[in-house]
Amino acid sequence: MEFKVNSKELEKLLTKIIPAVPTRTPMSILENFLFEIKDGSLTINATDLEISMKSSINIVSEENVSIVVPAKLTHDILKSLGDTTVYFEITQNGKLNLKTDNGEYSISYLDAQEFPEIPTFPTNADDIYEITMNGLELKYALDITSFAMSKEEMRPAMMGTYLQFESEGLRFVATDGHRLVNLLKKNVKADISDQYVIPEKAISVLQKILDEKDIKIFLSKTHMSFKLNDIELITRLIGQKYPDYKSVIPLENEFDLKLKTKDIHTAIKRMMLFSSTSSTKRVKFAITENNLEISAEDIDMGNSGKESVMCEYNGNPIEIGFNSQYVNDILSHLTSEKEIIFKLHSATKAVIIVPSESKENQELMMLVMPVRLNN
């Protein structure tokens, strides 16, 4: 059977779908696209068994057929062609032939039956909801929370980002036990009591494909589906219960340390040059009314640094240690905030970091655990 497509149109489609193709997998069949030609439409599918992506273009074809083709090679060939018409031919003897004015490329395909079952959204299940979000708002929410997800496989739920609909809005939470991000988007409301934990892979793909357009999100107890323009991304949800993150958030951190975000961020980056060799990458904050002295020491190499950062502080003088990498991660996600406030209680209690001015329609809170100072 034969059909034709424009090279750039198909390349664009494959570029959107290929993030779902795993780059290192023991199941080599997953390194393929599933091409489904049906009723004048070519649908491209890819999956790593946790997420799946698909998108379609219209073609003129009289037959229906499904084949499995190597994802990277097919994508690379389309990328390497200029803007041209490509004639596709699927032969009976297992070859997908691509013909252009000057060239002819032959790729071995596999039977569609060899492709594993693709995660699909359970449209017939109970408790299915649909919401719509602006693509950039969802991207912001995922960007600012997901860096704090755990990479430890010991606690699978913490390897994802937690979504909960509350009466005030949609809450996003991510934590690895050392730091936590807690974002409430007040303009996204729905009467949904279920909770959802989205795995990392789905989040990293969403971060790549989200744009200013609205995105439709379908939620079930086991899967979420994201419909963006002509692409559908389906992800399994992490089935484990998310830990009770609220219990680690201190309610009475009465001391406020107000800082210019840029001042503390550049200082932390310099301190990381001295703290990088120790296991906790420790930086010390010595805080007084108008001065934050931050310091770090590389004991093995005999190097050290200290700096003064202007601040406003309303508490008792305190010395507290942090992992400089964790503080830097947090500050890297707050660069759009001019000033931030560290809310403290003592050298051993979790510290809360908030922007000094809230953005419209949202509440953002980050948390970092201190590390012990051996004085």
Applying CB under 8 A, the residues found at the interface with a second copy are: 70, 73, 76-77, 80-82, 94-95, 102-108, 266-267, 269-270, 273-274, 301-309
Strand 362-368 to 351-355 pairing: antiparallel
Specify the residue, 74 or 362, whose C-beta has the smaller distance to a second copy.
74
Specify the residue, 134 or 308, whose C-beta has the smaller distance to a second copy.
308
Specify the residue, 40 or 103, whose C-beta has the smaller distance to a second copy.
103
Tokens for 96, please give them. 């997908």
Find the farthest-apart pair of alpha carbons in the chain and give their distance in angstroms, rounded: 80
Closest listed residue to residue 330, CA positions, set 171, 155, 175, 158: 175
Specify the residue, 307 or 329, whose C-beta has the smaller distance to a second copy.
307
Tokens for 368, please give them. 């970092």
Q: Would you say 223 and 122 are in contact if contact means Cβ atoms under 8 Å apart?
A: yes
Q: Would you say 164 and 170 are in contact if contact means Cβ atoms under 8 Å apart?
A: yes
Specify the residue, 80 or 229, whose C-beta has the smaller distance to a second copy.
80
Residue 327 CB, shortest distance to a second copy, in Å, is 15
Residue 301 CB, shortest distance to a second copy, in Å, is 6
Tokens for 5, please give them. 């497509």
Residue 277 CB, shortest distance to a second copy, in Å, is 11
Q: Would you say 154 and 160 are in contact if contact means Cβ atoms under 8 Å apart?
A: no
Dihedral class, residue 336 (left if φ above 0, else alpha if ψ from -120 to 50, else beta): alpha
Specify the residue, 49 or 73, whose C-beta has the smaller distance to a second copy.
73
Residue 115 CB, shortest distance to a second copy, in Å, is 17
Order the strands of the 231-236 sheet from edge to edge: 110-111, 65-70, 32-38, 41-47, 51-58, 231-236, 223-228, 214-219, 129-134
Specify the residue, 266 or 346, whose C-beta has the smaller distance to a second copy.
266
Residue 232 CB, shortest distance to a second copy, in Å, is 29
Specify the residue, 108 or 348, whose C-beta has the smaller distance to a second copy.
108
C-alpha distance from residue 218 to each of 69, 94, 161 (Å) = 29, 37, 16
Q: Would you say 364 and 352 are in contact if contact means Cβ atoms under 8 Å apart?
A: no
Rounded to 5°, the CA angle 201-202-208 comes to 95
Residue 294 CB, shortest distance to a second copy, in Å, is 9
Residue 47 CB, shortest distance to a second copy, in Å, is 21
Residue 272 CB, shortest distance to a second copy, in Å, is 9
